[in-house]
Structure 1
Amino acid sequence: MNTKRALEFTSTIYDAVLCPDLWNEVLDNFVELVGAASGRLQVIDQTYSEHKCAAVSALYRNTPDYEKKFQYYFDELSHEEASAYEYIQTRPEAKFVTEYECLGITPDRLATHRPTTWMRDNFGIYYRIGSRLNTNHAWQDYLLLQFHDGRGQVTPGEIEFANIFIPHFAKAVELGRTFSVLNARFKAVLSALDHYLIGTYLVTPDGTLLLQNTEADRILECKDGLVKDINGRIGLSGDNSVELLNLISKVSATANGESMDTEQIMTIPRCCSSLDSYVLSICPLRDPENTLDVNFRGAIVYAIDPSNISIISTEGIARLYGLTPAEDAICSLLVKGLTTEDMAETRSVRIETVRSQVKAILRKTHVKSRIQLVKLALSINLPIDQDPE
């Protein structure tokens, strides 16, 4: 593996967060790096129709009438591969698998599989691998790679190498959701961040604040854990900023082609109140259009305030994760921070019943704590001001 080339490519994935039109170019570079013939990125959000993507690499784009051909595939052939997508979506890990594994057939039977032969006849590709990008039931995101006919089966080594980049595609798509919805609703991205009700900071590798939204300003003004220091950097109350700045530097290294970190999570205790700790999510970010700064390659820091329950909605979780009506009711109380005893009293049920329902909620949603449940709720129902004015 060419480590330098892999690191440099990884950094460019984050160009598409603010500029989704660059996904085609990212795919072009990806298929070349992993030795594939073509690639597709499919993004579907069941909550926000504004966020969608159907990026394809150059082999498809350079084929005459490729959009009509794909429409034929979706209309006439895709139903024969529905089970393959279901298989990918239900796998416990986001890793590439071969199409014949997804379909439950042997490689030699691909020659009689209509979608495979159609791909070969129209695009010269034969073997395919695919992966989901996340476990969020509201999102159906797939990354697919196709290989030239006649080159032989995809090797385990090739799959292992391609797997390295899945977390970065997943994180870039996830980060892009908020910006896609903001752009669709307010015809702006960075200048519309005040409509996003989670504290958001865009920082340089040394932690210098370049941009923050209204909620981020509110958090800083509270001086209850997070502050802006005299050098204009994000920091912690007291003299404990070293760990935070180290994490920002570590994540920013990915944006600069020097690391493979996708995200760092940090809990920030309150220093002046008994409210729940802030939860920071620190991720790589690049600004290819130089809106922030020339060649900005730093980090985006989200500060989640679990005590700000007005922005947390559990709508849709019951439907997406199969919660019972009783579990749905407990879920809405749980994200608000109620104790087991308070939930039992509110619901007029026994404490043991509430404990059993909480366990069921955590199991079904694949989270381990109330904070993780809050993050899930915020990812499904983005806290965006609905008033465009």
Structure 2
Amino acid sequence: MSMSDEALIRRIYDCALNPADWAAVMQDIAQHSGAIGAIIFDVVLDRTGQEQVCLQTCSSVYDPAEIEGYLARFNAEELRDQGIFARLSSQGEDVELLRCDRLTDSRAALEAQPNVQAMIASGVYYRAGALLCKDSLRMDRFALQSSRRQGPLTESALSWASVMLRHVAKAQSIGRAFRELHLRGAMLESVLGALPFGVAVVTGGRDILLRNPEFERLAEASGLAAPRDPTRLSPRALSRLPDIQRQLTGIEAHGTRGTRPRLEAGFMPLTEGAAQGLFVELSPLTRHPDLDRFGPSAYLMCALDSSRAHSIDLERLQRFFPLTASELAVLDLVARGHTNPEIADLRGRALETVNSQVKTIIRKTGSRNRTEMVRVAVGLSVGGVV
């Protein structure tokens, strides 16, 4: 890894806590790739159940209002194109950037599309698209755009960008909740205090430099912090989180799971054999404008306690996942800390029915277990319910 690549990767991870930097970072990724700019967007369901392509963030070279206007005009065409990109690249973990020539049989057929004609008129002649989250194909779609003069992205450019996008995928996954509150204009101090999960800045040497109230509570209750020194992570707890312990060794240990970054997280049951526990995520953190510069050995640690009662935004979740009304009701009760037998009693259903519904929700949300499912629901809900 070159020094310039490492510096860019660190800036990518800083965007998790400081979403305002995404525009500049994405522009740097585009320029290094030989492109005009880059866009990240979601494909969500509106209130009528229709799919809509929605801008999430874009390079500093673009005007977000113009992109939103384009997406409103050509939603149907973009849904078609994005459906093809997704179908061709939805398997495995790797980030796979596909050129736009994969969308049709010929360049002439591509240029016959009204959305492509509009892009050409604005100076965009080539595109390349990728999925950044294969656990939910509606989230975090990525696209690079280049001009006729720049030409289509070369194989070496696609390869380099794909490496960077592994880290973008992880920063996007961890940072979504922070981004929602940033869009509401919240200051960092109020953001950290309002979050329903624990957030801390830690070092590779296990020091806890900063923590929000929820992290302080759960670290003490779970033993994540050393029993005699709450400013240090517990070696015993970290031994139960081997993936997190490995990631504390350096930036090379991050972005290893590509488009499935939640697989890098650790799960620690609060009691032996329990289905509920801590879901812990870690990403490098070098600087934040509201905080001191931390240096290359600092990390952002996020931890959610699924045994606690959490409020979730059911309407927002339905925009991203194909959950039935019954499944949403069950997910709401799971997030509030109820066990399956309790949910069966509250809903007047057989326990086997609830067990089956919980398994279905875990599958539909791309989660591995109950705790990860709650983390996904809470993370997506932050902007709506906090």
Q: TM-score, normalised by structure 1?
A: 0.76
Amino acid of the structure 2 residue aligned with 1:35: G
Corresponding residue number in structure 2 for 1:253? 250
Corresponding residue number in structure 1 for 2:9? 10
- Cα 1:22–1:383 change in 2 (3 A) is closer
Corresponding residue number in structure 2 for 1:226? 224
- 2:82 is aligned, of 72, 81, 85, to 85
Distance 2:125 2:353 in 1: 53
Distance 1:70 1:185 in 2: 21
CA drift of 1:376 comes to 1.7
Q: Is the 8 A contact 1:99 1:128 kept in 2?
A: yes
Question: How many pairs align?
Answer: 369
Distance 2:353 2:68 in 1: 50
* Cα deviations by residue, 1:159-214 (Å, 9 ceiling, x for unpaired): 34322222322232333333344445574113541111211111123221121111
Corresponding residue number in structure 2 for 1:277? 277
* Cα deviations by residue, 1:292-337 (Å, 9 ceiling, x for unpaired): 345475211122111102x243623456433333333333344456
**Runs (4+) of structure 1 moved beyond 6 Å?**
43-47, 66-69, 271-275
Corresponding residue number in structure 2 for 1:63? none
Distance 1:117 1:205 in 2: 51
Corresponding residue number in structure 2 for 1:56? 59
Distance 1:266 1:67 in 2: 36
Distance 1:14 1:186 in 2: 20
Please list, as runs of the form range in 1=range in 2, the aligned pairs for 1:182-221 lying within 5 A after superposition.
182-185=181-184, 187-221=186-220
- Cα 1:346–1:313 change in 2 (3 A) is same
- Cα 1:384–1:201 change in 2 (3 A) is farther
- Cα 1:282–1:44 change in 2 (3 A) is same
- Cα 1:100–1:267 change in 2 (3 A) is same
CA drift of 1:242 comes to 5.7
Is the partner of 1:354 in helix, strand or coil?
helix
Give unpaired runs (5+ residues) of structure 1.
61-65
Amino acid of the structure 1 residue aligned with 2:360: A
Corresponding residue number in structure 2 for 1:30? 29
Is the partner of 2:284 in helix, strand or coil?
strand
Is the partner of 2:217 in helix, strand or coil?
helix
Please list, as runs of the form range in 1=range in 2, the aligned pairs for 1:231-250 lying within 5 A after superposition.
233-236=231-234, 239=236, 241=238, 247=244, 250=247
Q: Is the 8 A contact 1:312 1:383 kept in 2?
A: no
Give unpaired runs (5+ residues) of structure 2.
47-53
Q: Is the 8 A contact 1:229 1:235 kept in 2?
A: no
CA drift of 1:69 comes to 6.2
Is the partner of 2:122 in helix, strand or coil?
helix
Q: Is the 8 A contact 1:195 1:384 kept in 2?
A: no
Q: TM-score, normalised by structure 2?
A: 0.76
* Cα deviations by residue, 1:259-318 (Å, 9 ceiling, x for unpaired): 655674223344799894322212222324261345475211122111102x24362345
Report percent identity of matched pairs: 22
Distance 1:152 1:293 in 2: 39
Distance 2:139 2:236 in 1: 43
